[in-house]
Amino acid sequence: MAYTTFDEGDIIDGNIVRGVTSTAFSNNSGSLVLFHTSSTQTASAAGEYQWEIYNLATTETTAEVQFSVAYGHYQGLGGSTQTGATSGYTPSKAIYNQFRNLLLNDTDETTKFGFGDNTYADRMYFVTMNRARYKQGVNAGNWELHLSSSFWPNQFGGGHENPLKLTDDSSVSNGSTVNGHLVYNIVSGSETTLFTESDGDYHYWGLFYPELGIFALNGDRIISGSGANGSSTYGLQLNTGSEVIGPNGLSVDTYDQMNANLTAAIQRGKYFALRAEEDVTSTHYFVRAKNQEYNYSTNPTYQTGSNGQLKHTSFIQNPQTYVTTVGLYNDLNELLAIAKLSKPLLKNFERETTIRVKLDY
């Protein structure tokens, strides 16, 4: 097989197109309205650390994990000590420590997650996108998560029909960089409108890390409505009323199933929309076939007999071939990429051909 080495001028780097967005959920879906769990996974030891959320019932062969829900407490409350672990080092403590080490500058054990209204949380919920669901990050300002509780405060309408709507504040903020990661505030509102009090203050619910696909939610506020924004107290109050699934996540050495509480709020909210984001780089390869090159084919139909004679004697002085595919190889002649032409291209001694191959990555 013959190979042609690219000249320097045959490879042209194109412009980088930044912030290209695409659907993030399975089956090219931009949103989810139904959320499923696996009873096998939630009942396992791993279920005490996180619950995996699927797009379909796990009895479906095409069901895929979309994101996970994890509960953390900085002292380890709401979780049970695992076999062989030091007393107090529960899954909830491990989760809090893990995300603190990843997301915050100060990783001391006494450090708590803080928010835009200068409040801090002992309890945290972490919604983490499955890595396969996004590319370089979640598109900031272009996501919305609904949470619902029957005790949702009256200033927001209350109940299933008017769930808490969360998004980030990237439309009014450039964000900040913490521990090397871009972060925005999670606030009440939709992709188009942010909720504010009469004094113009936002309702802060957590921290959003677009490059990591992590939504760090203030568990104190979501679970019990603690914390103040100006003079008002607000929260989902998941541990109150007939829809309660578990306690408030403050039990000592007891598994409170707090992952179930937030999962239920997401299921009742019935809406999670987001888009993946990436920067796309293009490289153009100009594949040039001069008149003396690639006029014969190694296809068995082109030859006859044991000596590889041309099947058609007219091809001896005037071969005719059709180019259908271009292969790009590395220096070891290993095939790296294939480009297919939309239709066969005639090639002979009287024709020179230039094919432009564009690779986006």
Whose CA is closest to 211, among 180, 188, 189? 180
Per-residue pLDDT at 150: 62
User: What span, in angstroms and rounded, lies between the C-alpha atoms of 93 and 70?
Assistant: 11
Structure letter (DSSP) for residue 252 = S
pLDDT at residue 30 in the model: 93
Query: What is the token pair recorded at 231?
Result: 């003079």
The secondary element (H helix, E strand) that includes residue 99 is helix 91-103
| DSSP assignment letter at 8 | G
Q: Which residue in the block uniquely carries the two structure tokens 């024709």?
A: 351
Q: How far apart are CA 285 and CA 281, in angstroms?
A: 13
pLDDT of amino acid 311:
66
Q: Where are the domains of the chain?
A: 8-16+280-360, 25-273
pLDDT at 192: 78
What is the reported pLDDT for 240?
56
Non-local CB neighbours of 247 within 8 Å, separated by 6+ positions: 78, 239, 254, 256
Q: Residues of the chain whose pLDDT is less than 50?
A: 154-160, 227-232, 241-242
